[in-house]
Amino acid sequence: MEKYLSLFTQYNIPAAFWVNIQLTFWAAIGALVVGTILALMRISPVRSFAVFGTSYVNIIRNTPLTIILLFGVLALYNQLGFTLSDDFNQNFFNLAVMGLAIYHAAFVCEAIRSGVNTVPVGQAEAARAIGLSFLPAAREVILPQAFRGAVVPLGNVLIALIKNSTVAAVSSVAIEASSIMKTMLEFESNLIIPIFATFAMGFVIIVIPVGLLTTWLSKKLAVAR
């Protein structure tokens, strides 16, 4: 027990989780923006936009996240010299955020599309009838209702994103939780099970409030029909 407690003074575990939360925060914003644009493209009457949106979702959704993140570091940075920051470590962080956002945007897009499906056709028809073209109709009528109907699936994507942020280890973000866990296992492998349990617990502590919040929000924001 003493040995286990000394792990907390030797390694800064909360700081490692904080890195994951930061990765999640920025990637979630990126994914929400890109995902909303993609959803708009997929429901738009312009065929080429719809085809692009569908292709993006199908290609990215079917590519393992590890490969997307490795591509960012091994191909873009190591081979092509592409950087997102002049600071050595910040660059890896930004590349990881980019990869996470690109990947989760596909899932956000589909979550929003499922939200759009909860909006009755009559709403869209009414919007067109009062003279709104596609974008204003989407902005003023469809999307606000769609987001309210998509709170639960969006929450699911966010929860997946929190846990997927540990994959940033492969894009050389070596200060996040799973990397610290790897270091701890290397030096304290006789405590393998307690260390593992600690990190599993950490994610439970982060994820459960998100789950509760989305459930509460989905009830509060539900469109009464």
Partner 1 sequence: MRKTRIAAVAAMAAVAALTLSACGGGGGAASDKIKIGIKFDQPGVGFKDGDTYKGFDVDVAKYVANELGFPADKIEFISTPSANRETALQNKQVDMIFASYSITDKRKESVAFAGPYLIAGQDLLVPVDSTIAGPEDLTGKTLCSVTGSTSAQKVKDLIPGVKLQEQSGYAECLGGMSGGTIDAVTTDDIILAGLAAQPANAGKFKVVGKPFSEEKYGVGLNKESTKCADINKAIEKMITSGDWEKAIKANTEGTGYVPNPALNPPKMDPCA
Q: First vs last Cα of the chain: how many Å apart?
A: 56
Give the residue, chosen from 185, 206, 207, 217, that forms a contact with partner 1 under the rule CB under 8 A.
185
Q: Interface with partner 1 includes 73 (CB under 8 A)?
A: yes
Residues 194-213 that bind partner 1 (CB under 8 A): none
Span near partner 1 by CB under 8 A; candidates 96-104, 109-117, 150-158, 186-194: 186-194
Minimum distance between the CB of residue 205 and partner 1, rounded to whole angstroms?
23
Helix count (H) and strand count (E) of the chain? Answer: 11, 0
∠ CA 107-34-202, nearest 5°, is 55
Give the residue, chosen from 183, 202, 207, 210, that forms a contact with partner 1 under the rule CB under 8 A.
183
Minimum distance between the CB of residue 172 and partner 1, rounded to whole angstroms?
5
Pick the closer one to partner 1 by CB: 132 or 174: 174
C-alpha span between 138 and 148 (Å, rounded): 14
Provide the 10 A C-beta neighbour count for residue 132: 17
Residue 177 corresponds to which amino acid?
Answer: A
State the residue for tokens 């962080």.
Answer: 93
C-alpha span between 52 and 84 (Å, rounded): 26
Q: Interface with partner 1 includes 192 (CB under 8 A)?
A: yes
Q: List residues near partner 1 by CB under 8 A.
A: 70, 73-74, 77-79, 81, 88, 92, 169-170, 172, 174, 179-190, 192
